[in-house]
Amino acid sequence: MTSYVLLVAPSANRVYADAAVALTLAELEVLSATVLSGRITELAPVRLAGLPYVGFTAPELSAPEIAIISNASSLYALFARDGDLLRPVELAPLAHFDDDLITIPKYAGKTNEQFTKLLLNVTVASSAWGSSLVDGQLKVLDPLCGRGTTLNQALVYGYDVAGVDLDGKDFEAYGSYLRTYLQRKRIKHQLDANPVRRDKRLVARRLAGSITPADGSRTLAVDVVNADTTAATDFFKPETFHAIVADAPYGVAHGSRTVAAGLRRSPLQLLTEAVPGWTRLLRPGGALGISWNTLVARREDAAAVLAAAGLTVLEDGPYGRFRHRVDASITRDILVATRR
Ligand SMILES: C[S@@+](CC[C@H](N)C(=O)[O-])C[C@H]1O[C@@H](n2cnc3c(N)ncnc32)[C@H](O)[C@@H]1O
| pLDDT tens per residue, range 272-320 | 999 999 999 999 999 999 999 999 999 999 999 999 999 999 999 999 9
pLDDT of residue 14: 82
The pLDDT-based confidence of 12 (bands split at 50, 70, 90) is confident
For the chain, what is the HEC assignment? CEEEEEEECHHHHHHHHHHHHHHHHHHHHHHHHHHCCCCCEEEEEEEECCEEEEEEEECCCCHHHHHHHCCCCCEEEEEEEECCEEEECCCCCCCCCCCHHHHCCCCCCCCCHHHHHHHHHHHHHHCCCHHHCCCCCCEEEECCCCCCHHHHHHHHCCCEEEEEECCHHHHHHHHHHHHHHHHHCCCEEEEEEEEEEECCEEEEEEEEEEEECCCCCCCEEEEEEECCHHHHHHCCCCCCEEEEEEECCCCCCCCCCCCCHHHHCCHHHHHHHHHHHHHHHEEEEEEEEEEEECCCCCHHHHHHHHHHCCCEEECCHHHHCCCEEEECCEEEEEEEEECC
232 lines ligand 1 (CB under 6 A): no
Residue 200 has pLDDT above 70, yes or no: yes
262 lines ligand 1 (CB under 6 A): yes
Minimal-distance CA residue to ligand 1 atom 17 = 263
pLDDT of residue 253: 64
**pTM tops 0.85, yes or no:** yes
pLDDT of residue 259: 59
Minimal-distance CA residue to ligand 1 atom 3 = 146
Tens-place pLDDT, residues 113-164: 999 999 999 999 999 999 999 999 999 999 999 999 999 999 999 999 999 9
What does the angle CA 34 – CA 39 – CA 44 come to, to the nearest 5 degrees? Answer: 95
Residue 256 has pLDDT above 50, yes or no: no
Minimal-distance CA residue to ligand 1 atom 13 = 144
What value does the mean pLDDT take over residues 323-334?
95
Ligand 1 pocket test, pick from 166, 236, 254 with the greatest ligand atom count within 8 Å of Cβ, gives 166
Which ligand 1 atom minimizes the distance to the CA of 164?
21
Which ligand 1 atom minimizes the distance to the CA of 142?
6
pLDDT of residue 260: 65
Which ligand 1 atom minimizes the distance to the CA of 148?
9
270 lines ligand 1 (CB under 6 A): yes
113 lines ligand 1 (CB under 6 A): no
pLDDT of residue 140: 99
Minimal-distance CA residue to ligand 1 atom 16 = 263
What value does the mean pLDDT take over residues 230-248?
98
Residue 13 has pLDDT above 90, yes or no: no
CA 127, CA 322: separation in Å to the nearest integer?
A: 18
What value does the mean pLDDT take over residues 85-93?
97
Residue 254 has pLDDT above 60, yes or no: no
Question: 135 CA distance to ligand 1 centroid (A)?
Answer: 29
Question: 144 CA distance to ligand 1 centroid (A)?
Answer: 4
pLDDT of residue 252: 79
Averaged pLDDT score across all residues of the chain: 95
Residue 258 has pLDDT above 80, yes or no: no
What value does the mean pLDDT take over residues 178-207?
97
Residue 43 has pLDDT above 90, yes or no: yes
249 lines ligand 1 (CB under 6 A): yes
